[in-house]
Structure 1
Amino acid sequence: DDIKKSAPNKDCLVRLYLGKRRNRHVSRFFQLRNFSLHLDQMEELALNVKEFAVHIADALTVMHWAVKTDANDVEFVLGSAPDRTALPERILPKTYTAAELRKMKPNTSTWADHFDDFKHSTTHIWMLDFNRCEEFTPDEAGMQQIVQAFFQNDPYFPRPPAELPQDQELWDTFAARYLEFSASLVEQEIKDLPNRFIELAVLEQAKRKG
Structure 2
Amino acid sequence: MEIPASRKPGDVICMERIFPLPQIIRNKIIDVFCQLDPPAREEAKKLPSNRDCLVRPYLGRVRIAGSQKRLRAFSLRNYKLHLDQIQYLGLDAEAYATAMAKAMATMHWDIRIDAADIEFVLGSSPAEEDTITRPKSLEQLQNLTAKTDTYTEVVVSSPNFKQRLVSLWLVDFDACNDISMDETGVQQAVRAFVENEPYCPRPNGGTSYSDQLWRAFSTQYLATSMAILGEKHDAAGLPRMFLTGSVVAKDEVGHNQREFPDHRVGEGEIII
What residue is the counterpart of 1:19 in the other structure?
A: 60
How does 1:122-141 map onto structure 2 within 5 Å? Answer: 122-141=165-184
Tell me whether 1:3 sits opposite 2:39 in the alignment.
Answer: no
Distance 2:154 2:104 in 1: 32
What residue is the counterpart of 2:31 in the other structure?
A: none
TM-score by length of 2: 0.65
**Structure 1 110/40 Cα, relative in aligned 2: closer, same or farther at 3 Å?**
closer
Distance 1:79 1:108 in 2: 21
Tell me whether 1:201 sits opposite 2:246 in the alignment.
Answer: yes
What is the deviation of 1:6? 2.9
What is the deviation of 1:114? 6.6
Distance 2:241 2:185 in 1: 11
Distance 2:187 2:194 in 1: 11
What residue is the counterpart of 1:98 in the other structure?
A: none
- Could you give the per-residue CA deviations for residues 91-133 of structure 1, whole angstroms, max 9, x where no partner exists? xxxxxxxxxxxxxx96796999975332222111011111000
Q: Which has the higher helix share?
A: 1
Q: Secondary structure at the match of 2:129?
A: strand
Give the total of aligned pairs: 193
What residue is the counterpart of 2:14 in the other structure?
A: none
What is the deviation of 1:161? 1.8
What is the deviation of 1:4? 2.8
State, as a whole percentage, how many aligned pairs show the same letter: 36
Moved more, 112-121 or 126-135: 112-121
How does 1:1-210 map onto structure 2 within 5 Å? Answer: 1-24=42-65, 25-27=67-69, 28=71, 29-86=73-130, 115-186=158-229, 188-209=233-254
Moved more, 108-117 or 193-202: 108-117
What is the deviation of 1:138? 1.2
Distance 1:142 1:111 in 2: 34
Distance 1:138 1:130 in 2: 20
The RMSD of aligned alpha carbons is: 2.5
What is the deviation of 1:72? 0.2
Structure 1 unaligned regions, length at least 5? 88-104
What is the deviation of 1:23? 1.7
Distance 1:108 1:115 in 2: 13
What is the deviation of 1:160? 0.5
What is the deviation of 1:206? 1.6
TM-score by length of 1: 0.83
- Could you give the per-residue CA deviations for residues 16-59 of structure 1, whole angstroms, max 9, x where no partner exists? 10000012323533311120000111111110000000001111
Q: Secondary structure at the match of 1:73?
A: coil
